[in-house]
Amino acid sequence: MILGDQLSRGISSLSDADPKRDIVLLAEVADETRYVPHHPKKIAFIFSAMRHFAAELRAEGFKVDYVTLDDPANTGAFGSELARAVARHGAGSAVVTHPGEWRVLHAMQGWEDEARVPVEIRADERFFCALPQFRQWAEGRRQLRMEFFYREMRRGTGILMDADGEPVGGRWNFDAENRKAVPARLDMPPAFFVSPDAVTKEVLSLVAARFPDNFGTLEGFDYAVTAADARRALAHFIDHALPSFGDYQDAMRQGEDRLFHSVLSPYLNAGLLDPRAVCEAAETAWRQGLAPLNAVEGFIRQILGWREYVRGIYWLKMPDYAHTNRLGAYRSLPGLYWGAPTGMNCLHQCVDQTRRLAHAHHIQRLMVTGNFALLIGARPSEVAEWYLAVYIDAYEWVELPNVHGMVLYADGGYLGSKPYAASGKYIDRMSDYCRNCRYDVKQTVGPRACPFNFLYWNFLIENAPQLRSNQRMAMIYASMERMDEVKRAAIQDQAARFLGELTTEY
Ligand code: FAD
Ligand code: DLZ
Ligand code: SF4
């Protein structure tokens, strides 16, 4: 049985598959479509990619049993669909690859009873770092740091290493060069798009009919849904965007949804692209002099470093990780996350882009929607549910550590050393959102003050018992303590009024 994010020909469950003997099962199941209210583009992407993958296996000679969502006999769950297929084909055993979510692994452990045949769960080998290797690395460390993990991965894989075992360019990390704002005049890379074929069009109709109320639009669906097109997307990125990826990695620009980002995460996570091939292509571009090292190292670090690191933490810490809430945050997510009007232009732009594309780039997720959720004290489980629902690349193994660890500090600093809390100044420096906003990013209190400003100071004041002793926050607490009492009271007062008026309606 192959799940919707296991669409790789090299997946372990297929490693010894014999077209003469074995039957491959794929199933569109209602449970997977509603454990969170997924963006319609995410559902359409997964279904279309599943259907194309099934067709490719059939063309190879495999007998594929594909259960569609609208099949009247569909029972709506992985386990019961496996049981039905086992009975249908008189199968003697089943083989699956370890899933990407703890929820599914937990259910999988009951599949032998449900299907009444042995079920072999094989390791997912599509990652650089096997789970036991990560566990061994993390053992005994009270706090983990991505940078050290990343260096081990560089050494272990030889990626961007020279013949003497040293990092190429003499440094592990070129981040200091990667914080430029986008200048007013800069040529943007051309967009990559794939026009929907007949299979995708059929899926789009199905999803439109079945999920009319989910947040997000299906209009303009142009994602790749096959491995071949995902490889074209990779080549397009390497040619057009990688050379400037590093420089503008942290930038945001109104009207430019993708800037120099790759938008490869949907393909990597669903199995249409292999992370090794992606890192190799980027390294080759550097070795051929087609892209600078700050760009290539920065890009590879996201995949060889962050992507592997968050997966390791997820499987090390689940299921408890999903319940972490170190800062005791309890507020419901305001309706603006689901498209309710807001005067805060940065939030409006990022949420609207999410509604249109089911994609936003990292800094938008971290420093706009994430930062706001942190500053208002939104309940981590609700924030996690939002991210899992609205992004086309979202599976819990990668979403949850980013939300609970990187954004909300809900894990108390296990994944990252401090919360990424920031005032409007950061957004102003890295984007042009503030120029088009009704609030004034230079003001901290008063009717036109940017909410990120008073919320930021209010967050620091309220969370001082938890955060003041953090060495990395010492400077900011020192400046907070220099603030005069009157200003501090005005900030707290305005933040209380603002928070009191936030509504969950949309
Ligand atoms: P690029 O900027 O081109 O980066 C290249 C690749 O690096 C990405 O495709 C991705 O595979 C990997 N990558 C980059 N940053 C991270 C990271 N922090 N963690 C893991 N992989 C990373 N990424 C997901 O794939 N799925 C998610 O559900 C997800 N949820 C997120 C939630 C929050 C709150 C935050 C802050 C980040 C989240 N990310 C998630 C990470 C990152 O935002 C996306 O991977 C990235 O925006 C995808 O767009 P891209 O392919 O253009 O990325
Ligand atoms: C996300 C998703 C959705 C919406 N639908 C399906 C589906 O119908 N069938 C399927 O096999 N997979 C689907 N997926 C992806 C799964 O949720 C994913 O494989 C698990 O969460 C494990 O990561
Ligand atoms: Fe966002 Fe504040 Fe800038 Fe408006 S002024 S765009 S709310 S940071």
Ligand nearest to the CA of 449: 3
Q: Is residue 99 part of a domain?
A: yes
Residues 412 and 375 placed together within one structural domain of the fold? yes
140 and 59 within one domain: no
Same domain, 363 and 479: yes
Q: Show Cβ contacts of residue 231 under 8 Å, excluding neighbours closer than 6 positions.
A: 273, 277
Give CA separation, 479 vs 371, 393, 485, 488, in Å.
Answer: 20, 39, 13, 12
The predicted structure's pLDDT at residue 143: 82
Residue to substitute in 146, 362, 388 for testing ligand 1 pocket (most ligand atoms within 8 angstroms of CB): 362
The pLDDT-based confidence of 505 (bands split at 50, 70, 90) is confident
* 439/475 same-domain check: yes
Judge whether residue 183 has pLDDT over 90.
no
Q: Is the residue at 179 inside a domain?
A: yes
- Report the alpha-carbon distance of residue 204 to residue 43 in Å, rounded: 9
Residues with CB under 6 A from ligand 2: 3-5, 27-29, 32-33, 38, 43, 46, 99-101, 104, 395
- Same structural domain, 252 and 397: no
Average pLDDT over residues 338-342: 96
* Separation in Å, CA 382 to CA 386, 452, 505: 6, 20, 15
Model confidence pLDDT, tens digit, residues 123-152: 999 999 999 999 999 998 888 999 999 999
Instruction: Give the number of the atom of ligand 3 that is nearest the alpha carbon of residue 437.
Output: 4
Protein residue with its CA nearest to atom 1 in ligand 3: 346
Domain boundary among 122, 143, 160: 122
Average of per-residue pLDDT values in the chain = 96
- In terms of domains, do 159 and 103 share one? no
pLDDT at 486: 96
What does the alpha-carbon distance between residue 363 and residue 427 come to, in Å, rounded to a whole number? 10
Is residue 115 domain-shared with residue 138, that is, in the same domain? no
Cis peptide before 275 (omega within 30 of 0): no
Nearest C-alpha neighbor of 270 from the set 308, 303, 224:
224
Report d(CA 133, CA 311) in Å as an integer: 12
Shared-domain flag, residues 406 and 457: yes
pLDDT of residue 173: 93
In a domain, 325, yes or no: no
Any idea what the CATH number is for the domain that residue 114 is in?
3.40.50.620
Residues of the domain holding 474: 335-501
Q: Is the pLDDT confidence value at 276 over 90?
A: yes
Residue 480 and residue 397 share a domain: yes
The total of structural domains in the chain comes to 3
For 400-452, give the DSSP string.
Answer: HIIIIIIIT-TTSSSSSSS-----HHHHHHH-SGGGG-SSBTT-SSSTTB-HH
pLDDT above 90 (res 179): no
Whether 387 is in a domain gets the answer: yes
- Mutation test residue for ligand 3: of 347, 425, 428, the one with most atoms within 8 Å of CB: 428
1 occurs within a structural domain: no
Phi-psi region of 489 (alpha: psi -120 to 50; beta: other; left: phi over 0): alpha
Domain's final residue, options 122, 146, 174: 122
What is the Å distance from ligand 2's center to 502 Cα?
Answer: 33
| 247 Cβ closer than 6 Å to some ligand 1 atom | no
Q: How far, in Å, is the centroid of ligand 3 from the Cα of 118?
A: 56
Q: How far is the CA of 447 from the centre of ligand 3 (A)?
A: 13
Amino acid found at 209: A
State the DSSP string of 366-412: IIIIIHHHHHHTB-HHHHHHHHHHH-TT--HHHHHIIIIIIIT-TTS
Q: Is residue 328 part of a domain?
A: no
Which residues lie closer than 8 Å to 120 by C-beta, 6 or more apart?
93, 94, 95, 96
Statement to judge: residues 407 and 497 lie in one domain:
yes
pTM, two decimal places: 0.98
Q: Do 279 and 305 touch, CB atoms closer than 8 A? A: no
In a shared domain, residues 243 and 283: yes
Whether the per-residue pLDDT at 178 is higher than 90: the answer is no
Query: Minimum-distance ligand to the CA of 258?
Result: 1
Give the integer Cα–Cα distance in Å for 247 and 74. Answer: 49
pLDDT band at 284; cut points 50, 70, 90: very high
Whole-number Å distance, alpha carbon 168 to ligand 3 midpoint, is: 39
Whether residues 363 and 441 fall in one domain: yes
Question: Is pLDDT above 90 for 47?
Answer: yes
- CATH number of the domain to which 255 belongs: 1.25.40.80
Instruction: Choose the final residue of a domain: 122, 145, 161.
Output: 122
